[in-house]
Structure 1
Amino acid sequence: MGVMFPDAKAELTHKNAFELLIAVILSAQTTDVGVNKVTPRLFEAYPTPEKMAEADVAEIMDKIKTIGLYRNKAKFIKKCATDLVERFDSQVPKTHKELESLAGVGRKTANVVMSVAFDEPAIAVDTHVDRVSKKFDICPQNATVKQVEEALMKKLPKELWSIAHHRMIFFGRYQCPARAHNHEECVRKLTEIMAEQKSAAN
């Protein structure tokens, strides 16, 4: 996957840790493309946790209404911003425990922020990572998201966790999507690339 997607990276547009945090919360059950269409006007209106915490929920809803679950997400991001202001001096915390204490933030979101914003090794398991891991028998088909994460962490060296997460997302999004396609062809291409790499190394 590294050869296929050597430059894989987060596709959510952001300028800082706060914007990334909010964008990841908004991305639940929504494409990154969809989120990137609403965040410019959202962050123009509310560029800081203080501004977002003070905002009216209805106004936030209006700015993100083209994405799925926008009503609940508007409440989550306002509460998250309020948490940042009241508990963390308007700064995005840098530990999993503190991140997961914020409104709307689960383990996946915390892992994305730790990895992308703070350059800490982490594997965020989204639908693509979960599906690809199970397609290639990296973990059992009935594995939970946490079990998928743990399986990948055991199989990969820590320094590769973050980039592997991005490459698996790209592979699942652009090469081996969830919609009907020739999965065997995906496996064949990946196997060929791995064989070529092994041959070149010998």
Structure 2
Amino acid sequence: MLSKITPSAGKLLISEPFLNDPNFKRSVILMAEYGEEGTIGFILNQPSSLLLKDLVPDLGQADFPIFIGGPVEVDTVHFIHRCYDKLNSGEEIANGIYWGGNFETLKILVDNNDISENEVKFFLGYSGWSAEQLEEEIQANTWIVSGKYHQDILFSHNEEELWRKVIVNLGPKYAHISNFPSDPSLN
């Protein structure tokens, strides 16, 4: 009912308004990999209390926020970026958006203040689905798939409003969903 767009790398997964899973409540996920083996993505709007300098001690001045990418392998650090011209590495997952790259080069750029928060976003862990699992969840109206967004939304630090903005951006057919309360009993 909600989503008719085919999922693929670079598209967004937007959780339905009343999803009860605490890992994905009002989540916006960027799909980094999609294929027969399954899907990998990163939750864009779940900040942690950590900063990059907490995870990489030799980057003592790195105040980049760390986001919870998802509940899988939460002891791993991932990043997306839109500065291939500086990193010269990463897998392009959408037009001008890259996943990963040379972390040593990234550390130098961060340490020299040659990269900013609106160019790179860091995640602990990731969200993952086995083959066919995501399709089943989309069929059950758990997720809306969207390929319609501006790159800036991926690097937004207004986590509270990100889900709402992405829903409204889908157009008038979906805009009313953005006003649903997070707890339906409050309606």
Quickly name the TM-score band, shorter chain normalised.
under 0.3
TM-score, normalising length: structure 2: 0.26
Structure number with higher strand proportion: 2
TM-score, normalising length: structure 1: 0.24
Q: Which has the larger radius of gyration?
A: 1
Higher relative contact order (CA 8 A, sep 6+): 2
